[in-house]
């Protein structure tokens, strides 16, 4: 259910709000392989257009986007990036200090909006994703510092080289999860929770 008391009219369960459809025909809840023919596997599943997204779920999507945008503003400063997706980055266009303040502002506004959802578990989960973003940046900075210390050309035998590559790959995966994957995963889980599932 939607736990925000401002919207008491939304009381449907999550599984009843989001129904997957195949073409024009709905999947029935009582679908059983022996009783009915399965939908065509060539038809692309879509969400039923008549279903509604709860207001708190919609707000959570905006909150996740604000957190992500704030992290990108900070990321461009840390990476000294001149470009972001083919255009001038915020630090290149508005200076470093304004980019940092802009990132802080976005994350702080997202935090205020998060509190307004009035769901402690969702607040805890999304706050953890902000913590993860910072941890991911720290790992990335350590990696950059270590690479500079090692020098550009590494002369290692094949065993050490292979182990070095594996360590670099593991660090990359961990950093990618913390900087982006954690936010997406936690936002999706929080959306389901706002829909009434735990």
Domains of the chain, first to last? 55-194 (1.10.600.10)
Q: Is there a contact between 107 and 122 (Cβ–Cβ < 8 Å)? A: no
Between 120-150 and 182-194, two packed helices, what is the crossing angle to 10 degrees? 170
Q: How far is the C-alpha of 184 from the C-alpha of 68, rounded, in Å?
A: 9
Average pLDDT over all residues of the chain = 76
pLDDT at 188 exceeding the cut of 70:
yes
Residue 108 has a pLDDT of 95
The pLDDT value given to residue 75: 87
Residue 151 has pLDDT above 70, yes or no: no
Which of the two residues, 190 and 26, has the higher pLDDT score? 190
Dist CA 34 CA 4 (whole Å): 42
Closest alpha carbon to 64 in 184, 153, 192: 184
Higher pLDDT, 55 or 49: 55
Which one-letter DSSP state was computed for residue 46? E
More confident residue, 167 or 31: 167
Instruction: Report H helices in the chain.
Output: 14-17, 55-79, 90-94, 96-115, 120-150, 158-176, 182-194
Q: What is the pLDDT of residue 71?
A: 92
**Distance set, CA 48 to CA 10, 21, 79, 91, 112 (Å):** 17, 6, 42, 42, 32
The pLDDT of residue 182 is above 90: yes
Please report how many Cα atoms fall inside a 13 Å half-sphere around the Cα of residue 171, on the Cβ side.
16
Hey, what are 141's tokens? 């900075």
Query: pLDDT (tens digit, 9 = 90+) per residue, 40-53?
Result: 555 554 555 556 78
Convert the pLDDT of each residue in 2-31 to its tens digit.
Answer: 444 444 444 444 444 444 444 434 434 444
pLDDT category at 160 given cuts 50, 70, 90 is low
Q: Tens of pLDDT along 57-103?
A: 999 999 999 999 999 998 888 888 888 888 888 888 899 999 999 99
Q: Is 2 exposed, middle or buried (0-12, 13-18, 19+ CB in 10 A)?
A: buried
Is the per-residue pLDDT at 133 higher than 70? yes
DSSP string, 17-35: H--EEETTEEPPTT--TTT
pLDDT score for 37? 52
> Which sign, positive or negative, has the C-alpha torsion 143, 149, 155, 160?
negative
Low-confidence winner among 19-28, 67-76, 120-129, 165-174 (lowest mean pLDDT): 19-28
Residue 159's pLDDT is 58
What is the predicted pLDDT for the residue at 126? 95
């Amino acid at each position: 259910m939607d736990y925000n008391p401002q919207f008491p009219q939304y009381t449907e369960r999550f599984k009843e709000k989001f129904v997957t459809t195949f073409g024009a025909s709905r999947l029935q809840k009582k679908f059983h392989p022996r009783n009915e023919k399965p939908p065509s596997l060539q038809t692309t599943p879509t969400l039923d257009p008549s279903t509604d997204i709860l207001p708190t779920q919609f707000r959570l999507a905006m909150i996740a986007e604000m957190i992500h945008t704030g992290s990108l503003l900070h990321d461009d400063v840390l990476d000294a990036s001149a470009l972001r997706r083919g255009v001038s980055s915020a630090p290149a266009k508005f200076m470093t200090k304004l980019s940092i303040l802009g990132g802080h502002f976005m994350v702080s506004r997202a935090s205020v909006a998060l509190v307004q959802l009035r769901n402690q578990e969702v607040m805890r989960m999304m706050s953890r994703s902000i913590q993860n973003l910072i941890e991911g940046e720290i790992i990335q900075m350590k990696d950059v510092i270590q690479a500079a210390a090692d020098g550009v050309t590494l002369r290692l035998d094949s065993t050490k080289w292979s182990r070095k590559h594996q360590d670099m790959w593991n660090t990359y995966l961990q950093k990618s999860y913390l900087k982006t994957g954690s936010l997406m995963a936690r936002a999706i889980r929080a959306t389901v929770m706002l829909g009434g599932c735990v």
